[in-house]
Amino acid sequence: MKEQSALDRICRVLAAIPEGRVVTYGDLAEMAGYPRAARLAGQTLRKLPRGTKLPWHRVINAQGRISLPEPGASRQRKRLEHEGITLLKGRVDMSKYRWRP
């Protein structure tokens, strides 16, 4: 029951991330009410069904990098670039693209 609650809360925040913006795993967890639970956010994203409409690609690590292994990393990079988010040397400019509601 508690796990489902965390899943629901994290998914609600995930759905609210605007196009062209990113959050870190830690940001996502904190906004969902789970401070210092970046791993929980990552585990939750791994449980999303294939083909989900939720913008999972807008979540990156605290260094502004994509944490997924290939081929997921390429898919995430393409989706971010499609939204106008540029990666320079594999990093997103967090001061420019980080979402802070």
CA 39 to chain centre: 12
Q: Position of tokens 């759905």? A: 15
Query: By mean pLDDT, which of 6-10, 30-34, 61-65 is the weakest?
Result: 6-10
Give residue 60's pLDDT band: very low, low, confident or very high (50, 70, 90). Answer: very high
Give residue 58's pLDDT band: very low, low, confident or very high (50, 70, 90). Answer: very high
Query: Which sign does the torsion angle of CA 33, 39, 43, 48 carry?
Result: positive
**Confidence check: pLDDT of 1 > 50:** no
Amino acid making up residue 93: D
Give residue 5's pLDDT band: very low, low, confident or very high (50, 70, 90). Answer: confident
What is the model's pLDDT at position 4? Answer: 63
pTM of the model: 0.93
Q: How far is CA 8 from CA 5, 25, 57, 101, in A?
A: 5, 16, 18, 19
